[in-house]
Amino acid sequence: MKKVFVAMSGGVDSSVTAALLKKQGFDIVGIYIKPWQSNNLFFDCLWQEDREDAALVAAKLNIPFLTWDFSREYEKDVVRYMINGYQSGITPNPDVMCNKYIKFGLFLDKALKQGAEYIATGHYARTKNRELLKSKDLTKDQTYFLWTLTQKQLKHCLFPIGDYHKSDVRKLARKFGLPNWDKKDSQGVCFIGPLNIKDFLKNHIKEKRGKIILDDLMVGEHDGIFYYTIGEKITVNSSPYFVIGKDLKKNILYVSDKRENRPRKEFRFTSFNLIGNGIHFPLNCQVKTRYQQKEIKAVLKKGKAELEEFLFDISPGQSAVFYRGNRVIGGGIIQ
């Protein structure tokens, strides 16, 4: 039997992943990846509860269960990346880096060294011939966060629930008798959990008050320019606004009373990762610059994307992910 190490988070998706693979005849080992620990007691309690849920599922499935402590690596490669990104004025995407460095970096490497032929996660995605494809349930598709994967990694990756809709996955969890079948889906950043990002950042970046400007007019004060992202809706003196720009040197936050502002028909990106063969530039494709954003047509060139229509609130630091139909071409980090 082929051995598969399954990243079990304690949630329904990864639990059903393990159950499906065991049913298919694989030799399964469940792994709980211990995340970075903040000083927040609630978060410390949360990861221990998740680990216990994962252990109970492993016991139900009668599979070995291990805990791998990657907390130091989380802090170095994901937490620091996120904090430094906000401090530099961009909007980083820690979930992408969590996948790149932790799940499909450390976890994959260690699993292969310990005899696994594959790793599996509860991501809503699919693979075929070492290509990354969207999941069957497009409303849950998570390929946006997986654009850093390579064919060498995809060769060893399984995403069993990518062939199911979310509602069917929960039904399977109940059918398999998994003890966490009715557990609510987790929310929030990979290592923070359901905590407010702004509250998290305030523990690591000092507050520094400054002006909020609308059309050259000061409408209020912000408590720290680093806490805000482009396109974010904020309330200033009981009035709603949208963040459209930041001047770090002057410590000014620029806002608009309209959501659609600063339209762009092209943008540049770095750290491009190309998945698969047969790609030639320029390339007609579709692009997303935010998760669950509507895809728009684009022409992909080296280091630049030209859009067919205007796109608003493009945030430096976020991921741009390129598609051709259901296939993920690759992605990069917006400049």
Side by side, the strands of the sheet bearing 233-236 are 217-222, 210-214, 252-256, 239-247, 233-236
Paired tokens of 65:
């269960």
Q: Is 190 annotated as catalytic?
A: yes
Rg (CA), the chain: 21
Place of tokens 């620091």: 80
Write down the catalytic residue from 45, 98, 157, 285.
98
Q: Is 98 annotated as catalytic?
A: yes
The DSSP element (H or E) to which 73 belongs, if any, is: helix 71-74
Paired tokens of 130:
């070492």
Place of tokens 């990518």: 162
Q: Is the distance from CB of 266 to CB of 305 less than 8 angstroms? A: yes
Write down the catalytic residue from 45, 157, 190, 285.
190
* Residue 326, CB-side half-sphere exposure with 13 Å CA sphere: 15
Bridge partners of residue 330, in order along the sequence: 274, 322
Pairwise CA distance, residues 101 & 120, whole Å: 16
Residues with Cβ within 8 Å of residue 240, at least 6 apart in sequence: 233, 234, 257
Give me the active site residues, please: 98, 190
